[in-house]
Amino acid sequence: MLKENQIKLTEEIVETAYKLLTHKLAFGGLTARNESAFQMEFGHILKTIGQLYEFRLVDKFHLEFETYISLNGASIKSKTNRARVDLLLKYQDNDNTTKAAIELKFFKKENHREPNNRYDVFKDISNLELYKSHDIDLCYFILATDHSHYCDQDNYSLDTADFDFRNNKEYKAGKILQYKTAKPFGPDITLKQNYTFKWDKINDLHFLKLKV
C-alpha cells in the first residue's frame, strides 16, 4: 500500500472513532467518569475499527496505551528524551508503517482545576508538535468536558488569558504564551503552527478535536 493511502486510511480510523465516541458518550451509550476511562473507551473503539481496516493479510493495526516515543530533544511533559503518549496507533503492511499519536484530556466541572487545565492543553499540543518531528505521521489532541468554561467563557483572567482555546479562537504560530501569575504554573509555551479551535457540542458535552 502506498504511504499516502495508508495515512489517509489511518485518518479515517481516527475520525470515525472520534464520531462514535463522542456520540455514544453524549447519548449515554458509554459512561466515562474520568480521563482514564475516557482513554480506555476511545482505545477500544479505535482498536475495533482499526482491525476492520485490515483488508489484506499483510495489513496490521496495532494500538498501545501510555507508551513511549523516543525524542532527540526533551518534551515539556517528561523533560527527558522519552515522552509518554496517551495512545499510539500503528497501521502497517510489508512496505510501510503509519504512526498516529493521540493526547487526550477529560475535564469534569466538579474537578475544576483552573487555570492549570488550560495550560496543560497547550502543553500537550506543544508535545504533539514535537512528536511530529520524530517519526510520527499524524498527531491529534482530543478534549471532552461537561464544563462550558473552556469553550464559551466570556473572558479569562489577564494573568492566564494567553491560554485560550475557546470556540473559534485562533492561535498564530510563534506567539509566546505566558503564565503571568506571581508563581507561574509552568514555563512559556510557543507553538510552531497556526490553529483554529472548533468545538463540537452534543447534548450536555463539549468536544474539541485538533489535528496537529
Q: Do the domain assignments include residue 206?
A: yes
Q: Where are the alpha helices (DSSP H) in the chain?
A: 3-26, 35-52, 116-132, 149-152
Whole-number pLDDT of residue 79: 59
Please give the tally of structural domains in the chain: 1
Taking only the tens place, the pLDDT of each residue in 102-113 is 999 999 988 778
What is the grid cell recorded at 178? 505566558
pLDDT tens digits, 55-98: 999 999 999 999 988 876 554 555 567 788 999 999 999 999 99
Contact indicator for 7, 92 with CB cutoff of 8 Å:
no
**pLDDT at residue 183 tops 90:** no
Is the residue at 76 inside a domain?
A: yes
Q: For residue range 131-179, what is the model confidence (pLDDT) as tens digits?
A: 998 889 999 999 999 999 999 998 999 999 999 999 999 999 999 999 9
Residue 190 lies in a domain: no
Helices and strands, counts by H and E, the chain = 4, 10
Whether 96 contacts 102, CB under 8 Å: no
Strands 170-171 and 82-92: unpaired
Q: Is residue 177 part of a domain?
A: no
Residue 211 near residue 140, CB atoms below 8 Å = yes
| Overall average pLDDT of the 37-64 stretch | 96
Domain range enclosing 89 = 3-161+198-211
Does 130 reside within a domain? yes
Record the cell numbers describing residue 21, joined without a space. Answer: 465516541
Residue 17 falls inside a structural domain? yes
